[in-house]
């Protein structure tokens, strides 16, 4: 499908830090860039394995992040523990569909998209699939980009807890769920980071 040849075929490896093309032969002796002394790998070692490990950690963390309350509010109208999904439903029912949608995208849609996208990338790379290589690369870039938007929830809770301190009238405190949610975001970002997108283009020789 493509006329481009792969670096491996040319016997070259690119330094990802300074862009120096190093002959593959020299890497057998020294795995450092002769120019910038960065570590040079033909492909990130154990990339898929690490990605998978982070991904699984992210999925595991995502369960308590949704089940546990993220915020505790107390005030004149009583005490309430709110979970992420509960909050979305509440906003939706109260008619604030835009806010509900925003929280839904940031807290549910994005993490899910990431799980599925990374899972898909891993699956196809393991299978050495040549399917939709361009789209998969785009997908990877999107995953990398949207990763930190999930921190929206964490920031909302952090701000609310910091600002809403009116003693009797109303106080908000973070709860364990938000820590798990934060862990989900961090771990999935690490997962995306440890994925080597060059693997997408590796074809069985």
What is the binding site for other proteins (CB under 8 A)?
25, 28-31, 45-46, 49-50, 53-54, 56-58, 60-61, 63-64, 68, 76-80, 86, 183, 187, 194
Closest separation between CB of residue 135 and other proteins, Å? 28
Alpha helix ranges (H) inside the chain: 7-10, 24-27, 47-67, 84-93, 97-104, 110-126, 133-146, 151-163, 176-194
Burial of 1 (0-12, 13-18, 19+ CB in 10 A): exposed
Q: Which CB, 4 or 77, lies closer to other proteins?
A: 77
Q: Which is nearer to other proteins, 47 or 162 (CB)?
A: 47
**CA–CA dist 100, 93 (Å, integer):** 9
Check: CB of residue 55 under 8 Å from CB of residue 118.
yes
Cβ pair 188, 114 in contact under 8 A: yes
Asked whether the beta carbons of 10 and 18 are under 8 A apart, the reply is no
Based on CB atoms, which residue is closest to other proteins, 137 or 171?
171
Token pair belonging to 57 = 């950690």
Find the shortest distance in angstroms from Cβ 158 to other proteins. 21
Cβ proximity to other proteins: between 50 and 158 the closer is: 50
């Amino acid at each position: 499908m493509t006329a481009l040849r792969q670096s491996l075929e040319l016997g070259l490896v690119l330094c990802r830090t300074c862009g120096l093309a190093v002959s593959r032969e020299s890497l057998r002796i020294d795995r450092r860039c002769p120019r910038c002394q960065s570590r040079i790998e033909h492909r990130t070692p154990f990339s898929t394995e690490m990605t998978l490990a982070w991904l699984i950690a992210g999925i595991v963390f995502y369960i308590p992040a949704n089940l546990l309350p993220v915020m505790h509010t107390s005030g004149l109208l009583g005490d309430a523990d709110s979970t992420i999904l509960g909050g979305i439903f509440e906003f939706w029912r109260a008619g604030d569909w835009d806010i509900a949608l925003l929280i839904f995208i940031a807290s549910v849609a994005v993490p899910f998209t990431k799980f599925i996208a990374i899972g898909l990338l891993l699956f196809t790379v393991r299978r050495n699939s040549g399917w939709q290589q361009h789209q998969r690369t785009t997908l990877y870039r999107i995953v990398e980009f949207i990763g930190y938007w999930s921190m929206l929830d964490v920031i909302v809770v952090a701000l609310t807890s910091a600002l809403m301190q009116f003693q009797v009238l109303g106080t908000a405190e973070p709860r364990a769920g938000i820590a798990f949610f934060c862990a989900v975001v961090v771990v999935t970002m690490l997962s995306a980071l440890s994925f080597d997108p060059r693997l997408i283009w590796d074809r069985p020789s």
